[in-house]
Amino acid sequence: MDTEGHQALTQDTTGTSGSVANQGKSTNGQWMQLDVMVRVKCSEPLIQGMMMIGWWDECVPDRLKQLHSDGYQVVIFGNHAVRTVHVQTIIDSLQQELGIPLMIFISTGYDLYRTPSKKMWDLMANEYATVQVNRSESFFVGDLAGRLATDKRRADLSSIDHVFAMAVGVRFETPDSFFLGEPLDIPSIDLIFPKPETCDPPVKASKQTTSLFFFIFKNISLRRKIYTIYPVKDCPEVVSEDFELVIFVGWPVSGKTRLAKKYFLPAGYAHISNISEPWCMQAAHEALSKKQSVVIDNTNANVATRAIYIAIAKQHGASVRCFNLKTEKSMAERLNYFRERKQGIRHTSMADFIMYEKSFQEPNVNEGFNKIHQVEFNLIISPEDRELFNVPIPNYAKRVLPVPNNELIAQAVE
């Protein structure tokens, strides 16, 4: 992360100026999600604008002012994928209503700063390195705690806020428990997840502009590094000199594209990857008609989908191989969010994972494959990326939605 040339400013509207905490001293912190403080109205169907229409509860402003009087620094973290001018409007309204110094960090994109990653926390710590935070007396208030629906409230969409508090290492509170004094009733978070290996060879780095904006009444544009990871073990029979069509089978974000780019593209294969099946079929026809080998880089979960491409290959006289990626679902889900935090690629919907699981059929040579390769997953990750990778993934609540054929499927709500 490159912050050279930027300056972080604070503003105290109570009449004093300077930093929000005494330099060189410890301070208690109270961190909040923006959503637990205010109610906002967004334009539909796309979030093109936001405006503050009221407080989450009428007790919120007095409670926050009391915290400031008690020596707490109020810090707001949030994920809001909207134009920064709209977020700034909410911030201006907050400052005018409260009249206390605020530190506000908003991630406006899908990258490494988006919570539950603790990168926004690290940014705050770097900006105020001389201030020691008393974590034992600090806490984070958020409304995404993975709670189930009750008679009084809807189910939480995820557990992002609870996970963020755990990643930072502070106590977690819901707005109901903190503002209203209700019992803290939240499910436990499973912290058992895969451990990455060390990286060898070294990663390659290139800079790109991130979409994080650091609000303390000044937009701070930052830069970050993107690292290339090498997730799949070498396979002794990856590319072939034969005229062929290769079909990948695997979970979303299971290493398929990395496998294609590392081995097949340098060998001259046509790389076909698209959510539109008709487009992929046409592209496969065109490449094979030119006697160019093809790799189909989609999930290809079931026999019916794979049969389409096998038939196309046979039509052009090409042999067919299958690469069945044995990446575990839990690893693919973790890579889904790790990729978002590192590369700014929005995570794949959990509904896509559910659809894959529901339709998956194990590849079999009787489908018409000349050979099936079983590709074991081997995560190779740099030591500096361990912490980001180990942030637990959000636990999304699930609801039952009707579908046209009157069946019921569980779909993740995001």
CATH number at residue 72: 3.40.50.1000
Range of the domain at 283: 244-379
| DSSP H or E segment with residue 54 | strand 50-55
Q: Identify which of 170, 126, 145 has the alpha carbon closest to the alpha carbon of residue 28.
A: 170
Q: Is residue 128 part of a domain?
A: yes
Higher local confidence (pLDDT), 410 or 242: 242
d(CA 116, CA 140): 12
Confidence at residue 29, expressed as pLDDT on a 0 to 100 scale:
56
- At 108, is the secondary structure helix, strand, or coil? coil
* Same-domain status, 223 and 262: no
Res 261 pLDDT > 50: yes
How do 270-272 and 371-375 pair as beta strands?
Answer: unpaired
d(CA 341, CA 142): 20
Q: Is residue 122 part of a domain?
A: yes
* Same-domain status, 119 and 268: no
d(CA 75, CA 128): 13
Q: What's the DSSP call for residue 384?
A: G
Confidence at residue 407, expressed as pLDDT on a 0 to 100 scale:
33
Higher local confidence (pLDDT), 201 or 312: 312
Q: Is residue 31 part of a domain?
A: yes
Confidence at residue 188, expressed as pLDDT on a 0 to 100 scale:
72
Confidence at residue 304, expressed as pLDDT on a 0 to 100 scale:
94
Q: Is residue 213 part of a domain?
A: yes
How many of the other CB atoms lie within 10 Å of CB of 285? 14
pTM: 0.51
How confident is the model over 1-11, as a mean pLDDT? 28
Which range among 97-111, 122-136, 213-227, 364-378 shows the weakest confidence by mean pLDDT? Answer: 213-227
d(CA 238, CA 373): 9
Total structural domains within the chain? 2
Confidence at residue 138, expressed as pLDDT on a 0 to 100 scale:
86
How is residue 350 written in tokens?
A: 């959990």
Res 102 pLDDT > 90: no
Which range among 48-57, 112-121, 378-387 shows the weakest confidence by mean pLDDT? Answer: 48-57
* Same-domain status, 219 and 292: no
Confidence at residue 153, expressed as pLDDT on a 0 to 100 scale:
82
Higher local confidence (pLDDT), 186 or 365: 365
d(CA 166, CA 177): 17
CA 244 to chain CA centroid, Å, is 36
How confident is the model over 53-64, as a mean pLDDT? 82
Q: Is residue 409 part of a domain?
A: no
Percentage of the chain beyond pLDDT 70 is: 69
> How many degrees, rounded to 5, is the angle at CA 328 between CA 322 and CA 331?
120
Cβ atoms of 172 and 162 within 8 Å: the answer is: yes
Higher local confidence (pLDDT), 382 or 254: 254
Percentage of the chain beyond pLDDT 90 is: 23
Res 113 pLDDT > 60: yes
d(CA 110, CA 107): 8
* Same-domain status, 272 and 208: no
Surface-to-core class of residue 381, CB atoms within 10 Å of its CB (0-12 exposed, 13-18 middle, 19+ buried): buried
* Same-domain status, 262 and 370: yes
| DSSP H or E segment with residue 388 | helix 386-389
Q: Provide the mean pLDDT of the chain.
A: 71
Confidence at residue 206, expressed as pLDDT on a 0 to 100 scale:
29
Confidence at residue 299, expressed as pLDDT on a 0 to 100 scale:
95
CA distances from 288 to 4, 265, 296, 312, 342 (A): 51, 15, 12, 9, 35
Res 7 pLDDT > 70: no
